[in-house]
Structure 1
Amino acid sequence: MATASESTPLLSEPAQAVEATDSAVDSAPQTEDEATLPSSAHFQRPRKLLTILALICSIITGSLLIAIHVMLTMHVFSFNFWDQMEAINNMGFLIFLSLLFAPINLIWNFPVVFNILLDPYLAVSIITWASNMISAWPGDIWCVERDYYGKKPDLDKGPVCHSMLLAVRIVIGIAAGFAMIVAVCHTVLFLLRIVALWKTKFWKRPMPFPTGSITLEVSIKVQRQERGEVQPVVAS
């Protein structure tokens, strides 16, 4: 009669060890294959969603900036609003760049190095000028007519000016908020592209130079004269 120890298979534990080794070997090529992928192959869906969000917010921000520019140039306000106008103009240029390159990144495989330079520039600049838009916030003094010579008292410009002032404040606040969303999108895109570029391990790849060798051969020919004869001597 066979005992339990006699019926136990002898190769059960080594088989499990072999399976574990095979799984480790199978997982290694996956890491190597990941390094061979281009940077554009990583985070495709998050990058696409962030680019679409930045595009939509840029369109909204650009439309609001145009509306603010029109309201400021209607000659309703009496106060000097050139600081606000400067912030709006610079913000408009940055939003235009975001609008220009967002469709390019959605349609074509744009170089990641250029985007790595563009994203932080847009993010930092948009945050800066959005802060300037808030710092140049329209005040009630915009609707006060002042005589800088001091001959006449200050004159309020009436409810029409105050209604326009309220509208400008609302639009500036919304535009600055959407601009900040665009800046956040470019910040996250910058981080994703840095990680994607790091995953390619580009520093381990061979340089794209043609293979071959360069041979340099120098030949020196010296002539000497002995007993009226010319004997060539060649050294290489």
Structure 2
Amino acid sequence: MATTMFGRFGGPLLLRWARASGGVGGHLCCQSTEIGFSLKRLVKVWLCTTTNRTTTTTTTRYPKLRRSSMKQKKLDIAMYAVGGVVLFIGITFASVPLYRIFCQKTGLGGDSRTIRRKNDGIADLTVVQDRLIRVRFNADSNMAWKFTPLQDEILVHPGETALAFYTAINATDRPIVGIATYNIVPAEAGLYFNKIQCFCFEEQLINPGEEVDLPVFFYIDPEYADDAYLERVDEIFLNYTFFESKQGLQFDKNNFWPLAKPK
């Protein structure tokens, strides 16, 4: 706009000034167009300089506003990061009990089922004679006990009951209360591995120097032989782990999850 105004009024004024001065009027008249363009360039340069000065002045006059905006952005990023960490921690803690419940309901994940059957029901089981399963036994101890299986393995048909024993020895000079958990490999076999009687999730008190035999009475469901996923699986591993029971520690036998943390 400033350039347009100058083109309308600046040119005629310069011509009048040149004629009044004499001598140079013709020269200025011939070059009036060039002068107009030169002045237009000067006006553009002046406008750009003014804009840059205004921007610099704004940045210089309001440094606190700029710093405040950057600080808010950093704070937002930090809040998003903390929120993401909290979310992942919550998912991690929630997945463990949910996984335990899933394993107990489906029999997957290496958890077997404890069945309270009457003698008549056990006697009515159909034994699959053309299928023989090798059950291997393993023991781990996270305490001062000596804990081992009395047999390395047992051969059993699906639908046939079997009895195995573990032994625990307290080699310390103090009474110790222990509690055991178990796991079955492969995990798919846990759906068909049924324990009629076992010592898992029950506190066992053993005095100094005492040795205790712990029985496991179980059978493999006859439907094991009909599972296509287990068609070539003829070996099952049963593992028990003993650890010292602390005061206030209890287990939910249905979900395999502590009801109270040890003090």
**Bin of the TM-score, shorter chain as denominator length:** under 0.3
Normalized per residue, the structure richer in helix is 1
**Relative contact order, CA 8 A, sep 6+: which one is greater?**
1
TM-score (norm 1): 0.26
Task: State which structure, 1 or 2, has the greater radius of gyration over its C-alpha atoms.
Answer: 2
When the two structures are superposed, what TM-score results if normalisation uses the length of structure 2?
A: 0.24
